[in-house]
Amino acid sequence: MSTQIDHLLNETRRFSPPDGFAAQAVGSADLYARAAEDREAFWADQARELHWHTPFTEVLDWSTPPFARWFGDGELNVAYNCLDRHVEAGHGDRVALLWEGEPGDERAITYAELTAEVSRLANVLEGLGVGEGDRVAIYLPMIPEAVAAMLAVARIGAIHSVVFGGFSADSLRSRIDDAGAKVVITADGGYRKGKVSALKPAVDLALADRNGSGVQESVEHVIVVRRGGNDVDWTPGRDLWWHDVVPAAAPTHEARPFPAETPLFILYTSGTTGKPKGILHTSGGYLTQAAFTNRVVHDIHPETDVYWCTADVGWITGHTYVTYGPLANGATQVLYEGTPDAPHPGRWWEIIQKYGVTVFYTAPTAIRSFMKIGRQVPQGFDLSSLRVLGSVGEPINPEAWVWYRDIIGAERTPIVDTWWQTETGAMMISALPGVTETKPGAAQVALPGITIDVVDDDGEHVGTGNGGLLVVTEPWPSMLRGIWGDPERFVETYWEKFADRGFYFAGDGARLDEDGDIWLLGRVDDVMNVSGHRLSTAEIESALVAHEATAEAAVVGASDETTGQAVVAFVILKQSYLDRHSAEGLATTLRAWVGEQIGPIARPRDIYIVGELPKTRSGKIMRRLLRDVAEGREVGDTTTLADTMVMSTIQAKITTK
Ligand code: PRX
C-alpha cells in the first residue's frame, strides 16, 4: 500500500467543472451549507421529494443505536414512487428502459408499460400467496424482467434477495435457505459472450435434495422467464412460465402504503468469515438517499438525459443505480444484457453512440481493461453525447481516471468517483459534478448530509496529511438496518470497533490530503476486491478445503493491473493425492472447483501448491507474507513466525515453477 500512497501523494492534476456546467447542474454548493445547518431537516427535505401516502413527522430515531429508524411514522410504496407517480404526472410515455440484448435485440419500455408489467407480476405473486415480509429470490440475467421483478416484490411489501446470475447453485442455495425464500424468479438462461448461459439448472440444483438433508423446503414456486430458449427441466406444480402467468394477470394493482421501515431487500455480500452476510435495507430512507444521490451526483435531468449504469442488478450498484435511484427520478436508462466485449470490443461505445447516452457509470476495472485494448476502439465511435462519467467499486488509479476523462469524456466531462458499499446502500463520498474541482484518484468529499472521518485505531481524527480508517460518524438514511437473522454479527462487524464513539467502521483505509479531501486506499480486512466485486478470503479458503485433495489453504488478494486485486491461493495437498496426481493438474482442478462452489468470479488467478504455510506461534496464518510473495515483493518481517524457514521454502518453490 505504501507505493500506492506515494503515487497518490504526487498527484497534482486538478480539473474544474466545465464552463456552463454549474449553471444547469442539479446539485449546488448550497446543499452543503443547508446540510451543515440542520442535517435532519436537510434529509427530511430530500425525503419529501418522494410521494408519501402518510407524511412522516419524525426524521431520525437513533434512540437504540446502532438500530436506526428514518422517517419512522411515514408510509410510502417504493414501486409507486418509481412508476405510477411518473405516469400520473403525465410521463407515462417516457421511456424507462432502453434495453439492449447481447445479440442485438432491443426493447424500449415506457413508464406506463413498466407500471403495467410490474402490476401484473404483483398480482401473480399475491395469487401465489406472497405477502408483506415474505422473501422472493431473483436469479435473472440483465433483462427488463429483472427490474420488474424487484419492483413487483417491493410493491406488495415483500422482500427481494437478488442473487447475481454468475453465482453457482451452491451459493444460490445458501442464499435461498438463509432468507427462507418462498418464490424464486429466474430465466431459462441469458446471453453471455455470444452464447446462452443457462440459469434454470442452477435453480433446480439449488432446490434439489443433494445431500440427504431434505429437499429445500421454503420455496413453493419458481417463475421462469424464457430468454435463452435453451431446454430446461420442469417440475410441474412448482414451476411456472412467466409468459403463461404474467400476461394473463390484470395490469392494474393498488400500490398499498407501507411503513418507511418496511424491509425492501436483502443483498448478500462477502465479509471476513466464510459465510456471506445478508445485508438488510428498508424502504423510505433507502429510496430517499438513492434518488437524491443519483440526482445530484449523476446530475440527472429526467426529461433529457439518457443514463447508463453498467452494473448487474445482482450487485448493490445495480439495486441503487439501475432500479431504484433512476426510476424514482423518472429517468430514461439503458439496460444491457451482455459483456462489454461481445460480439466486439467496442460494444459499450456502440451502445453509447446508438442511444445517445449522456451519463455513464461504470467500474475502474472495466476502464483499465479498455485502456489495455487501446484508445482506437472507443475513438471509432461518436461519444459526444456524454456529459458526466462516474466510477464505482474500487479505488480508481489516477492514470485510469485521466484516460476515462480524456478518451471517453473528450477531455471535458467531469468524473465523479463515488465511494460507498452494499452496507451504505447509496453513495457516501463523491465530487458533485458542477461544484467540485476534481482530483484524479480521489473520491474527495462526503456528500451533503453525510458525515465521514478518517481516524486512528482509537477513533481520533488523524488530521490532514495523514492516513487511517474510514468511519461514518452519524447515521444516514440508506444505512443498512442489520444482517438478516444475525443482529450480533451486525453490531460486532460494524459498530464494536468504535463503540464508545458510535462510529460506523467501513473496513476501508483512507487518507486525508492537505485540503482535507479523502483518498480511499482499499480494504483493511480480509476482504478482497476483484474487478469491483467483493470476495472474502475465508469463503474461498473454505471452498478450497472442502475439496478432498486439500489439506490446508490460504488465500490472499494480490494487486493486479486490470482487476485491481486478484485471488491467489496457497494450498497444501494431501500426500495421498500428490502421490497419484501432478500438482499442476490438481491446481487446475481446484480452480474449477472454486468456480463451481462459489462462482467464476471467485476462481483463483494463481494456485501455488506448497508444503507449509507461514504461521505465528499461536497458529494464525500470516497472509501479509503470502501477499508479499504473490505480488513479487521482498518478504517482510518474519520474526513472529513459528518456523522462519517456511517463507524461503515457499518462495523457492514459486520461483522455480
Ligand atoms: O473497499 C471499498 C470499495 O468497495 C467496497 C464495497 O464493496 P461492495 O459492497 O461490493 O460495493 C461496491 C459498490 C458500491 C468498499 O468497502 N469501493 C467501492 N467504491 C469505491 C471503493 N474503493 C475506493 N473508491 C471507490 N469509489
Phi, psi of 583 (to 5 degrees): -60, -40
Q: Which residues line ligand 1 (CB under 6 A)?
A: 269, 316-317, 392-395, 417-422, 443, 506-508, 520, 523, 529, 534
For residue 297, give the nearest of 554, 27, 30 by alpha carbon. Answer: 27
Report the binding-site residues for CoA.
Answer: 192-195, 317, 531
* pLDDT score recorded for residue 417: 98
Residue 637: is its pLDDT beyond 80? yes
The residue written with cell numbers 434529509 in the block is: 43
Contact 234, 241 (CB under 8 A): no
Rounded CA-CA distance 565/558 in Å is: 5
CA 196 to ligand 1 center in whole angstroms: 30
Q: Is 50 helix (H, G, I), strand (E, B) or coil?
A: coil
Report the binding-site residues for ATP.
Answer: 393-395, 417-422, 508, 523, 534
CATH fold label, 531-655: GMP Synthetase; Chain A, domain 3 (3.30.300)
Give, using CA atoms, the residue closest to atom 6 of ligand 1: 421
Residue 210: is its pLDDT beyond 60? no
The residue written with cell numbers 453509447 in the block is: 352
Each residue's pLDDT tens digit, 525-551? 888 999 888 898 988 998 999 999 998
For residue 541, give the nearest of 614, 597, 616 by alpha carbon. Answer: 597
**CA 391 to ligand 1: nearest atom:** 26
Each residue's pLDDT tens digit, 241-286? 999 999 999 999 999 999 999 999 999 998 877 788 999 999 999 9
Report the binding-site residues.
Answer: 192-195, 317, 393-395, 417-422, 508, 523, 531, 534, 545, 547
How would residue 1 be classed by pLDDT, with cut points 50, 70 and 90?
A: very low
Reported pTM = 0.93
Contact 443, 417 (CB under 8 A): yes
Q: DSSP letters along 149-217, please? A: HHHHHHHTT-EEEE--TTS-HHHHHHHHHHHT-SEEEEESEEEETTEEEE-HHHHHHHHS--SSS----
Q: DSSP letters along 523-559, please? A: ESSSEEEETTEEEEHHHHHHHHHTSTTEEEEEEEEEE
For 15, other C-beta atoms within 10 Å of its C-beta total: 19
Each residue's pLDDT tens digit, 40-92? 999 999 999 999 999 999 999 999 999 999 999 999 999 999 999 999 999 99
For residue 320, give the nearest of 453, 480, 180 by alpha carbon. Answer: 480
Query: Alpha carbon 30 to chain centroid distance?
Result: 30
State whether the Cα torsion 425-176-133-241 is positive or negative. Answer: positive
Give, using CA atoms, the residue closest to atom 10 of ligand 1: 534
Each residue's pLDDT tens digit, 382-420? 999 999 999 999 999 999 999 999 999 999 999 999 999
